[in-house]
Amino acid sequence: MDYFFAVVLFAVSSSVTPGPNNIMVMTSGLNFGVRKSLPLMAGICVGFTLMLLLVGLGFSQLFEMFPNLHFLIKCIGVLYLLYLAYLIARSAGEVNSGAQSKPFTFMKGALFQWVNAKAWVVATGAIAAFTTVGESFYSQNLIIATTFFVVSFPCVGVWMMFGSLLKNVLNSPKSRAVFNYTMSGLLVLSVVPVLKEIVEQLA
């Protein structure tokens, strides 16, 4: 029981804290509302659960064998996060002109996990901390993935709802533009530590 409680606490704390996933879904909630943002939220939750399972089944060992592959994915991830920040910032300008871009889809939310630096840290950390070598490894991996799947929906959903509620507060094009530029900036800031790590590795 203590083991399960520890996994739940880890899942809640890592899922509800600020990060690329939550910033993205909150921005979507503000700009498009809850209903149109549900596919993105579902994609994030399902995608991360699948990622956890694959990491637990030995995906991380592949990176140990081919460290350059991990570095390559990390670089692609940073570029993709910066691209998302650009899209969010661009949508801020489109609010002023009365146009709106489409919300991210389920598939984009799911695939985004593979280039999300925080998702990699949480996934590898969860598998390393809450599994033991032996016959129970695979059952523990399944417990971790299932726990994150159940916990992530309300945790990520809180950010989506918060963004939707802000829609009533930020009811002018200018205020929404400021919000989107702020979220874009926060997304860029979340990439900075990973970017520094890449520069250090290249140096």
The burial class, CB within 10 Å (0-12 / 13-18 / 19+), for 124 is: middle
The secondary element (H helix, E strand) that includes residue 17 is none
Give CA–CA dist 185/115, Å, rounded: 18
Among 148, 108, 122, smallest CA distance to 60 is for 122
List all residues 6 or more positions away from 20 whose beta carbon is below 8 Å from its beta carbon.
81, 84, 112, 116, 117, 118, 119, 187, 190
Q: Taking the CA of residue 140 as centre, how many other CA atoms within 13 Å lie in the half-sphere pointing to its CB? A: 18
pLDDT string in tens for the chain (203-residue length): 577 888 888 888 888 877 889 888 988 898 888 999 999 999 999 999 999 998 888 766 776 677 677 677 777 767 777 777 787 777 655 544 344 467 889 999 999 898 887 888 788 878 877 777 666 778 888 999 999 999 999 999 999 998 888 877 776 777 777 777 887 787 777 677 777 878 888 87
In terms of Cβ atoms closer than 10 Å to its own Cβ (0-12, 13-18, 19+), residue 193 is exposed
DSSP characters for 94-150?
HHHTT--PPPP-HHHHHHHGGG-HHHHHHHHHHHHHH--SSTTHHHHHHHHHHHHHH
163 within 8 A of 26, measured Cβ to Cβ: yes
| Of the candidates 29, 52, 60, 24, the residue with the CA atom closest to the CA atom of residue 151 | 52
